[in-house]
Amino acid sequence: MFPPSPFSPPEENLPFTGIATFAGYPLWEEGRDVDAVFLGIPYDEGTTYRPGTRFGPRAIRDASMFYSYEGVEGRFYDADRRKWILAGKKVVDAGDVQIEPLCLEKNWTIITRTVTSILEAGAVPAIVGGDHSITFPVVRALKGRKIHYVHFDTHVDCDRISYSSFTHGSPVLLIMEQELAESITIIGVRGLTNSGQDISWIEEKGVKTLTARELRTWLTRPDPVFFEEGEYYISVDIDFFDPSLAPGTGTPEPGGLFFEHFSDVLQIIAERGEIIGFDVVEMNPFLDDRGNVTAHLAARCVLELMSSALDKR
C-alpha cells in the first residue's frame, strides 16, 4: 500500500493534517450545489486602534479544523442541546477575497461582488473578517431585500468622525444612511468607548438597543415579539464577548457576554425569522492568547450561525 498523497483532501479529518479549510469542508467549485459558503475578508484598513484582523480568516480557518474530527457526513452533534446540527448540509470554503492595499473603493466593490455571487448560488454567505468596516460592503449585496439587521457588539458603530465614516466604527451608520435594513437591533452595548450622543441619536432613529446588562435580564424572560418575522442578517463583533474568553480583539471591554447568551439570542431570532447571511469580525490573532481561544470561539460562532441559518431549511 502506498501512503496517501499529502495533497489529497482531508478525508481523515484530523485537525492537524492536510491543508486547512473551514472545519475541513471542501473548497467551493463553481456550479456546485451549496447551502453555505465560508468566505474570508482579510481587510483591516478600517481599524482605528490596534490592527491585525487581516490575519483573522487564516487563524479562524486553522482553529476551525478542531471541528473536522467528526467527518463531513457525521457532523455535528450539539451535546448541550442534545440535537444534530448541520447534518447533510452542503458547506464549502471559498477562500479569501483578494485585497489590494489602500484601494478602499476597489476592495469594497470586490467584496460586494463576491458576496453577490454567493447569494446568486442560492447559498448563505458565512463571512469572517477582517475589521468591522467590511460589513457595509457585504450587506450592500443584499440591497433591495427587506432585511432585519442585528449587530452583536460592544459599540453602536455609528461613528461620524470628521475624517472618515468608512472605519470599523461606522458600519451601522452606513447601513442606516443607505437604508439597507428594515430594522436595526444592536445587542451587547457597554463600556466607556461609546458616545452618549451616538446611542441617543440611533435610538431616536428607531434602532433598538439592548445593553449587556439589559440582555442578561431580557434572556431570563425573552419577549417573543422583540424580533420581527422576516429575513435577517447577523453581524458579530467578537468584542461582544467578555475579554476573558475573547482577548484577541483590538478593543476589549470588561463586562461582556458569554457564548450561551449569544447562542440563546440566535435561537430566538432563528425561531422568528430566517437568517440569510452573517459575519464574524474583529478577531485579531496577534492579540489572542497562547491557546488561540478567540480564534476557536470565532470558529464556533460561525458554526452556530450556520446551524441557525440552515437547520430550518
**Residues near Mn ion, by CB under 5 A:** 132, 153, 157, 237
Bridge pairing between strands 147-152 and 124-129? unpaired
**Cβ 130 to Mn ion, closest distance in Å?**
11
Which one, 189 or 276, has the nearer CB to Mn ion? 189
Q: From the CB of 274, what's the least distance to Mn ion, in Å? A: 24
The dihedrals phi and psi of 127, each to the nearest 5 degrees, come to -100, 140
d(CA 9, CA 190): 44
Select 28 or 241, whichever has its Cβ closest to Mn ion: 241
Q: What is the dihedral of CA 126, 129, 133, 136, to 10 degrees?
A: -10
CA distances from 63 to 114, 247, 273 (A): 24, 15, 30
Q: Which is nearer to Mn ion, 62 or 239 (CB)?
A: 239
Q: Judged by CB, which is closer to Mn ion: 28, or 55?
A: 55
CB nearer Mn ion, residue 27 or residue 104: 104
Least Å from the CB of residue 282 to Mn ion: 6
The Cα–Cα gap between 75 and 38 comes to 16
Instruction: Specify the length of the chain in residues.
Output: 313
CB of 300 to Mn ion, least distance (A): 19
Q: Kindly state the smallest distance separating residue 246's Cβ from Mn ion, in Å.
A: 13
Grid coordinates belonging to 119? 447569494
